[in-house]
């Protein structure tokens, strides 16, 4: 009894223990359970980070534009002068510049179509056994897009002459699916100058998966149309006439943009000098040929102002004159110092203006 009383007294000497405290005491004994989530250390490797949106690249190009604002203004001014001159000049000037630009772009993209082969292909669809038909078709497409038609932002598939076949495999990616990201970025970059936007679009072209055959030619032609989208005389902005250094793909946006601007500046100056030469030659030819009668001399002057190289079959087809009349006038023009033969051959001869 004494022992039992002592035990009761000992129990009453301790303070009362609540139910909550009793549960906490038991939980402390459960050492094998994990600790609270808020204090548990994270030993897992980092998960994949969220990719930045496609439009995030616009910020880099906006910074590049601000860095080269003065240079951009000078190039835009020269492009505006070319636009005004073409607006006031004959339609043939645009055609001549487009042929020159397409030829330069074909060499840049690896097609290597010469001026004489391009002239024969565009004017008469003539090609030799040594000519690459695919290269001729691509450079022919470039000439068409550099001389007119809706721009790439209206309908990119129609601009590229690339339509998805109706029976395309379900697993194959359609052109419109590949183009949607590129078009979204270009639309979101509306605050950039068209020249800057064109440069950005050119460098994002292959990243968007839009490459096809000679993707560099397609990208360059598309960009040249975008750069001149604010004009009304110049259908495209020259990019390759002064050399294709501006189309080199390397470096940060600031480096790419400055090369682009320098390359475009040189190409525009080359185009302006070409128009100067044509204008001077046309005035001289009119004076020298004033004594000639008939419609063939006038028609031949027009042909030579539009085409860098002209052959007898080309002149015959485009003037509607007889072969004898064309040959007689070509001989007279060569003897008068207006044109010169450039092939040095007895057959398949071609002439160009003598400036």
DSSP characters for 74-102?
Answer: HHHHHHHHHHHHHHHS-HHHHHHHHHHHH
Phi, psi dihedrals of residue 237, rounded to the nearest 5° = -95, 120
* Domain co-membership, 156 together with 17: no
pLDDT score for 1: 45
Q: Is 263:227 a contact under the CB 8 Å cutoff?
A: no
> Residues 241, 306: one domain?
no
* Average pLDDT in the chain: 84
The better pLDDT of the pair 115, 195 is held by 195
Among 192, 197, 188, 105, CA closest to 151? 197
Q: What is the pTM of this model?
A: 0.80
Whether residue 35 sits in one domain with residue 86: no
Question: Do residue 65 and residue 193 come from a single domain?
Answer: yes
pLDDT for position 163 = 67
Residues 97 and 182 in one domain: yes
Which range (11-25, 58-72, 185-199, 306-320) has the least confidence?
A: 11-25
Is residue 131 assigned to a domain? Answer: yes
Residue 153 and residue 182 in contact, taking contact as beta carbons nearer than 8 Å: no
Domain boundary among 227, 252, 278: 278
pLDDT attached to residue 6: 46
Banded model confidence at residue 199, pLDDT cuts 50, 70, 90:
very high
Q: Are residues 271 and 296 in the same domain?
A: no
Q: What angle do CA 308, 313, 319 make, to 5 degrees?
A: 75
In this predicted structure, the answer to whether residue 352 has a pLDDT above a threshold of 90 is yes
Q: Specify whether 343 is located in the same domain as 198.
A: no
Indicate whether 67 and 131 sit together in one domain: yes
342 and 240 within one domain: no
Residues 291/275, Cβ–Cβ less than 8 Å: no
The average pLDDT across 106-124 equals 86
> Which tokens in the block code for residue 278?
């044509």
Radius of gyration of the chain (CA): 36
Are residues 182 and 319 located together in one domain of the fold? no
Q: How far is the C-alpha of 30 from the C-alpha of 12, rounded, in Å? A: 28
Residue 46 has pLDDT above 80, yes or no: no
Lowest mean pLDDT among 103-117, 231-245, 258-272, 317-331: 103-117
What average pLDDT does range 162-169 have in this prediction? 57
The distance of Cα 23 from the centroid of its chain, to the nearest Å, equals: 73
Q: Which of 293, 294, 286 is nearest to 353 (CA)?
A: 286
Assess if residue 48 is contained within a domain. Answer: no
Structure confidence at residue 14 as a pLDDT band (50, 70, 90): very low
Tell me the CATH number at 333: 1.10.10.10
For residues 66 and 209, membership in a common domain is answered with: yes
The reported pLDDT for the residue numbered 295 is 94
Dihedral sign computed on CA atoms, order 34, 36, 40, 45? positive
Q: Is residue 168 part of a domain?
A: no
Lowest mean pLDDT among 105-119, 272-286, 292-306: 105-119
Residue at 311 is within a domain: yes
Angle at 207 between CA 203 and CA 209, to 5 degrees: 120
Q: Which CATH number is 142's domain given?
A: 1.10.3290
Rounded to the nearest angstrom, the gap between the alpha carbon of residue 336 and the centroid of all alpha carbons in its chain is: 43
Please, where are the H alpha helices in the chain? 2-13, 19-29, 57-67, 69-88, 91-108, 115-124, 133-147, 156-160, 175-188, 194-204, 215-227, 253-288, 296-306, 312-319, 323-335
pLDDT for res 111: 82
When divided into structural domains, the chain yields a total of: 3
pLDDT for 210:
85
Task: Judge if 100 and 179 occupy the same domain.
Answer: yes
> Is pLDDT of 131 > 60?
yes
Q: What is the mean pLDDT of residues 33-59?
A: 57
DSSP notation for 28-75: HH-TTS---GGG----SPP-PPPPPPGGGHHHHHHHHHHHTHHHHHHH
Mean pLDDT of 27-40: 51
Q: Domain limits at 109?
A: 58-163+174-278
Helix 69-88 and helix 57-67, axial crossing angle in degrees, nearest 10: 90
Evaluate whether residue 283 is within a structural domain: no
Kindly state whether residue 337 falls inside one of the protein's structural domains: yes
Q: Are 85 and 272 in contact (CB under 8 A)?
A: yes
53 located within any domain: no
Reply yes or no on whether the pLDDT at 168 is more than 90: no
- Asked whether residue 156 is assigned to any structural domain, the reply reads yes
């Amino acid at each position: 009894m004494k022992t039992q009383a002592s035990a009761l007294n000992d129990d009453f000497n301790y303070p009362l223990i609540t139910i909550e405290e009793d549960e906490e005491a038991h939980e402390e004994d459960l050492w094998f359970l994990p600790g609270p989530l808020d204090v548990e250390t994270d030993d897992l490797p980092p998960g994949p980070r969220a990719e930045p949106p496609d439009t995030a690249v616009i910020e880099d190009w906006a910074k590049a534009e601000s860095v080269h604002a003065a240079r951009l203004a000078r190039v835009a001014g020269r492009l505006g002068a070319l636009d005004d001159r073409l607006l006031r000049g004959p339609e043939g000037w645009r055609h001549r510049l487009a042929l020159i630009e397409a030829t330069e772009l074909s060499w840049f993209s690896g097609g290597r179509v010469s001026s004489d082969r391009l002239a024969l292909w565009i004017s008469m669809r003539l090609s030799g056994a040594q000519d690459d038909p695919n290269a001729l078709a691509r450079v022919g497409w470039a000439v068409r897009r550099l001389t007119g038609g809706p721009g790439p932002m209206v309908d990119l598939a129609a601009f590229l002459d690339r339509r998805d076949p109706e029976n395309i495999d379900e697993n194959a990616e359609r052109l419109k699916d590949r183009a949607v990201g590129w078009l979204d970025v270009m639309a979101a970059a509306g605050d950039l100058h068209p020249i800057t936007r064109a440069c950005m679009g050119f460098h994002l072209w292959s990243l968007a998966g839009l490459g096809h055959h000679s993707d560099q030619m397609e990208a360059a032609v598309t960009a040249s149309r975008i750069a001149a989208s604010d004009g009304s005389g110049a259908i495209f902005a020259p990019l390759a006439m002064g050399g294709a250094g501006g189309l080199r793909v390397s470096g940060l946006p600031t480096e790419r943009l400055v090369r682009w601007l320098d390359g475009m500046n040189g190409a525009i100056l080359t185009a302006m000098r070409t128009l100067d030469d044509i204008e001077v030659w046309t005035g001289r030819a009119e004076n020298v040929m004033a004594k000639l009668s008939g419609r063939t001399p006038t028609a031949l002057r027009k042909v030579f102002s539009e085409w860098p190289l002209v052959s007898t079959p080309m002149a015959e087809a485009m003037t509607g004159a007889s072969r004898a009349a064309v040959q007689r006038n070509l001989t007279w023009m060569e003897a008068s110092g207006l044109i010169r033969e450039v092939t040095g051959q007895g057959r398949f001869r071609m002439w160009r203006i003598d400036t």
